[in-house]
Structure 1
Amino acid sequence: MSAPPPLNAIRAFEVAARSGSFVQAGAELGVTSAAVSQQVKALEVHLGKRLFLRQGNRIALTDAGRAIYPRIEAALGELAAVTAELMSGRDRARLIVSVLPSVAELFLAPALRGFDGLGGVEVRIEEDPVIFARDGVDLRITYGAHAYPDHHAETLFRDRLVPVAAPGFAAPECGLKHLPDGAFIHTNWGPAYATQPSWAAWFASKGLSRRPELRAGLNVGTTSFAVAAARAGLGVALVPERIAGGEIGSGCLVLANPGALTMSWDYVLVWPHALQRKPSLRALIAHLKARAVEGSDDGLEDRA
């Protein structure tokens, strides 16, 4: 059996491959970029493979580097998880769940009710992308899996965008096309997302050419704030129906128009391949998927 490569060299390779820079890798590891380069060279010598193409200050993975990176990233993630479990002093494995802010508040919090292992769950509210190996994350709940091509991903649900408002603000018979531009709440999820809850796209799906002026209405950065703003009577918001289902079901928000627009991507569960057999993780995934199925049976779609 051949000797394994040095752990420091493996770590240096993983950080350099993830960041795309020896300088950034050195900053993360607390060493110089030259030290990172030396560690990577040592790994290349050990494996007999060239892992990076070096072009001045830029680096790019070779075919060999791309082939081994997902497995190394997963292995380091498993090592981090095992270490965290041993150091936690708990009898059962600790689960770290990373989740988008709005999904955490409007879906995950109520969905965790009834989960037997709740005492072993730590929830982190984060934007995409997250680094599983570095942060010891077990499970990510996010919109679309495109940021995690080397991980296991399963669909939680596909949502639809629906217009909502506080009761009495905009009755369905009023017709959104007659509302002033200042009555629309606009949500911009930021540069990490190619798709946004767009009023122009919603109107286009109804065969209408209206494009409410962005500067006239309230602009927000998260779905949870769009929901809060609509609930406060500040306007009509375009929000994911399932994510805002609790607010709609309780009557705090009403559908302001009987129309919906299917979203471009699924909400997904993402986790490292190395954790596939972790019992506590499998139990949580099964629980969340069951709650997602229950939510689809609540009849929200019928109200639109």
Structure 2
Amino acid sequence: MSRLPPLNAVKAFEVAARVGGFAQAAAELGVSAAAVSQQVRNLEEFLGKQLFVRTGNRIALTDAGLAIYPQTARALNDIAAMTVRIVEGALRMRLVVSVPASLAETWLAPKLAELIEIFPQMAIDIRVEDDPVDLARQDIDLRISYGDYHYPGLRAVPLVHDEVLPVCAPEFWYKHGNHEFDLASIHESLFIHTNWGPNYASHPTWRDWFARSSSGVTGGTGPDPSRGRRVALSSLAVASARLGLGVALGQRVMARADLEAGRLIALSPTSLKLGHPYCAFVPDAKADRADIRRLLAILGNNAQND
């Protein structure tokens, strides 16, 4: 067998490279920053290469570090996956998918139903959580995320670049609307606003939509969010509109079934793209699994139809 580097040193290097610092790596590993630094030095001595450039408390990967990091992460992920299989005694295929809350029920669940038809005996674990998540540590097979920037060390598969458009329940429009579908005449208290939270600034707003559409409002500023209905999930905005609570800028992939069934109506052909696409992230070591490849195909094909 070829000579192998010390596993503790490899692990310390992988964590430090992933989190971007020895102190952060020490917190994850439960050791001191000095211990992480020493383990990295041990690996550098073993390989005869400098893996990090150290500037004060900051570190950056060297060319050698960049060259070995993907294989290091993949190897450790393989070991972790093997350990889970042995410890759990897994006899059946098990798929672990991590997804944001807004996509779980309205978009992902129907796709998983298609996958189960192909793999009826497969166990599926759906985890609803915010970015970022540690796929290797939590043994996650596939993460769906808004944007392509959270997981630079993983394989990224673009799924859909969604858009928003004004939607509401038919009954709501019969009561509050007009034959011209003129949103400028709707009182601003009847608009539903999606608050994505402090981590996001690229999602389109009602102000953006009115600026794009031909039906401007007074001053061209759009309805005041403080006077309307506000929700914290884009899926909840669609649900609120379906229940007749107002007019929402609904994401098309989440509103599609309701639009086709007539539970929602689109009030304008004017739509706005989200700032980033939704992407799937998969560890390289798992990318060739049959269930993952099939799920990616289902997500990609359905995304093209949305």
TM-score in same-fold range (> 0.5): yes
Query: C-alpha separation between the residues in 2 aligned to 1:266 and 1:11?
Result: 32
> Paired residue for 1:131?
134
Query: C-alpha separation between the residues in 2 aligned to 1:88 and 1:40?
Result: 32
User: 1:106 Cα shift?
Assistant: 0.8
| Aligned amino acid, residue 177 of structure 1 | A
Deviation string 1:36-87 (CA, Å, 9 cap, x unpaired) is 1111111111122222232333323233223322322222223222322333
| Aligned amino acid, residue 215 of structure 1 | S
TM-score by length of 2: 0.86
C-alpha RMSD of the superposition: 2.3
> Paired residue for 1:97?
97
TM-score by length of 1: 0.87
- Contact persistence 1:78–1:133 (CA under 8 A): no
Aligned residues: 295
> Paired residue for 2:230?
219
User: 1:195 Cα shift?
Assistant: 0.9
Query: C-alpha separation between the residues in 2 aligned to 1:281 and 1:85?
Result: 17
Query: C-alpha separation between the residues in 1 aligned to 2:200 and 2:77?
Result: 26
- Structure 1 gaps of 5+ residues are 297-304
Please, which of 206, 209, 212 is the counterpart of residue 202 of structure 1? 209
Deviation string 1:96-133 (CA, Å, 9 cap, x unpaired) is 11111111111111111132335322111122222222
Deviation string 1:188-216 (CA, Å, 9 cap, x unpaired) is 32343341131122122225433322222
Query: C-alpha separation between the residues in 2 aligned to 1:226 and 1:34?
Result: 49
Query: C-alpha separation between the residues in 2 aligned to 1:144 and 1:63?
Result: 27
User: 1:2 Cα shift?
Assistant: 4.7
Query: C-alpha separation between the residues in 1 aligned to 2:198 and 2:76?
Result: 29
| Aligned amino acid, residue 163 of structure 1 | P
Query: C-alpha separation between the residues in 2 aligned to 1:47 and 1:188?
Result: 49
In the TM superposition, 1:96-175 aligns within 5 A as 96-115=96-115, 116-117=118-119, 119-170=122-173, 171=177, 173-175=180-182
| Aligned amino acid, residue 287 of structure 1 | I
In the TM superposition, 1:1-304 aligns within 5 A as 2-115=2-115, 116-117=118-119, 119-170=122-173, 171=177, 173-207=180-214, 208=216, 209-293=220-304, 295-296=305-306
| Aligned amino acid, residue 82 of structure 1 | M
- SS of equivalent residue, structure 1 residue 173: coil
- SS of equivalent residue, structure 1 residue 153: strand
Query: C-alpha separation between the residues in 1 aligned to 2:244 and 2:153?
Result: 43
Query: C-alpha separation between the residues in 2 aligned to 1:47 and 1:105?
Result: 48
* Percent identity for Structure 1 against Structure 2: 47
User: 1:161 Cα shift?
Assistant: 0.7
